[in-house]
Amino acid sequence: MTTTFPEGFLWGGATAANQLEGGYNEGGKGLSIQDVMPQGLLTPPTDGPTQDNLKQEGIDFYHRYAEDIALFAEMGFKVFRFSIAWSRIFPKGNEDTPNEEGLAFYDRVLDELEKHGIEPLVTISHYETPLHLARDYNGWTSRELIGFYERYCQALFERYGQRVKYWLTFNEINSVLHFPFMSGGIPTPPEQLSQQDLYQAIHHELVASARVTRLAHQMMPGAQVGCMIIALPVYPLTPDPSDVVAAMHVAHDSYAFGDIHCRGEYPGYLLRRFREQDIELDITDQDREDLTNTVDFVSFSYYVSTCETADPVKKVEGAGNLLGGVPNPTLQASEWGWQIDPQGLRVVMNDYWERWRKPLFIVENGLGAVDELVEVDGTKTVVDDYRISYLNDHLVQAREAVADGVNLLGYTTWGCIDLVSASTAQMSKRYGFVYVDRNDDGTGTLDRYRKKSFEWYRQVIATNGAHLQ
Ligand code: BGP
């Protein structure tokens, strides 16, 4: 294999504010929905913040960002994906003016990145809707959130417009179908949330995304705005055409978000679903026009693929796969039950590229695993060969897709430094090249240690991928 990644390829890592910053009530920050999710998706939200919530302190990036960014620089990162906590900038989400202390924090983060020549990639909203907007407006079901979100984005573009080129509007926007509270700030329990209200909330998010894409282009010439979706290849469980059709229907769930972001209008298959399920959305002429502001690139997370069948007997929900689906009998799973499928990445990249013809950016990929800190030659480290092999195998497939002709801007591994898990709120589900000494019970020194994969990734970046096997 002689193909390499393109010149200027953006190698790096990805994080989210609520999972690593800590400082949940410092610097004038308001509460976000994460402050009432101490168990992630495992239990319903609590009434208020509780001390067992590991995200309150995270890995203390709020105070240790300079040290952490220096470690990323040591690996040779070209790009660092992080999110801005909406409630640091607008503590309740709907104030008229932004919180200066919050803005100043991200100035300092950007200063460090600039110092090391690392390009920022900013997620504007990553599962951290201000709690007030969730509680008092029922999250994105309310049209008013479009205006609040725009005001928030305007503040970001004004402040950081000269320094940030790459922006993502909503993390894993299609996840709202499965996790309305975490993804859409909608407190109504999923089983009580009507499809009508859910799709209206989705519509508001899509309009907001399109409106700020236009705003970004107006305010920051040269800005690149991407949507961000969970990439989930859906395979038919058998060659039975009914299974193929069943898989197609599930695939449409995710395609819809990319189709609207890239084509600027609702696809026919979704309009049909609305008709058949008596869903009548409030879509104004202005909304329709706003939606035509399409994104510059498509970013996505990739962890798993899934299967689908039309046969109700075989339709056993996958226990571990976050988004359900039928387990693939040919694949192994991670310790958390996520099925590992490197070739699925090549499949989905080809698929997205052919479908949308927009540059792609892999902004999350990685293995959540239990790590053990050991001493090797007098230095504390983690011998994480399993992580190296996971990442190697996925990157080899990404390289195959590039050889297939796919335009790929970059690759950021998820959780380049250990952080709190989104789905389970555990520390023990680790993804990083850097080990953080913190345990599920909140104990630990928060000291950082380079894992074996740290040096491996440094070499992958230094050789622009030639180090892959
Ligand atoms: C994605 C989220 C991230 C992240 C990752 C890994 O869905 O965008 O925030 O955490 O998955 O998931 P988890 O932390 O649950 O292992």
Q: What is the DSSP string of 107-175?
A: HHHHHHHHHTTPEEEEEEESS--BHHHHHHH-GGGSTHHHHHHHHHHHHHHHHHTTT--EEEEETTGGG
Helix H or strand E encompassing 234: strand 234-236
Query: Mean of the pLDDT values across residues 256-274?
Result: 98
Q: Are 168 and 14 within 8 A, CB to CB?
A: no
Q: pLDDT tens, 23-38?
A: 999 999 999 999 999 9
User: Which of 174, 287, 148, 164 lies closest to 216 in space, CA to CA?
Assistant: 164
Q: Is 418 in the pocket of ligand 1 (CB under 6 A)?
A: no
What is the structure's pLDDT at 15? 99
What is the structure's pLDDT at 312? 83
Q: Max Cα separation, the chain?
A: 67
Q: Is 301 in the pocket of ligand 1 (CB under 6 A)?
A: yes
Query: What does the H/E/C string look like for 83-96?
Result: ECCHHHHCCCCCCC
Q: How far is the CA of 38 from the centre of ligand 1 (A)?
A: 15
Query: Mean of the pLDDT values across residues 59-77?
Result: 98
Query: Mean of the pLDDT values across residues 127-136?
Result: 98
Q: How would residue 322 be classed by pLDDT, with cut points 50, 70 and 90?
A: low
pTM equals 0.97
Respond yes or no: is residue 172 known to be catalytic: yes
What is the structure's pLDDT at 319? 46
Give all domains of the chain, ordered by start, each with its CATH number. 10-462 (3.20.20.80)
> Has residue 444 got a pLDDT over 90?
yes
Q: Are 55 and 98 within 8 A, CB to CB?
A: no
* Amino acid found at 23: G
The DSSP result for 352-390, as a single string, is HHHHH-S-EEEEE----B----EEETTEEE---HHHHHH
Among 172, 205, 308, 400, the one annotated catalytic: 172
Quick one: 380 exposed, middle or buried, by C-beta within 10 A (0-12, 13-18, 19+)? Answer: middle
Among 57, 308, 364, 400, the one annotated catalytic: 364
Query: Mean of the pLDDT values across residues 287-292?
Result: 98
Side-chain half-sphere exposure of 296, counting CA atoms within 13 A: 17
Q: Are 122 and 164 within 8 A, CB to CB?
A: yes
Respond yes or no: is residue 455 known to be catalytic: no
Average pLDDT taken over every residue of the chain? 96
User: Which of 54, 46, 82, 28 lies closest to 416 in space, CA to CA?
Assistant: 82
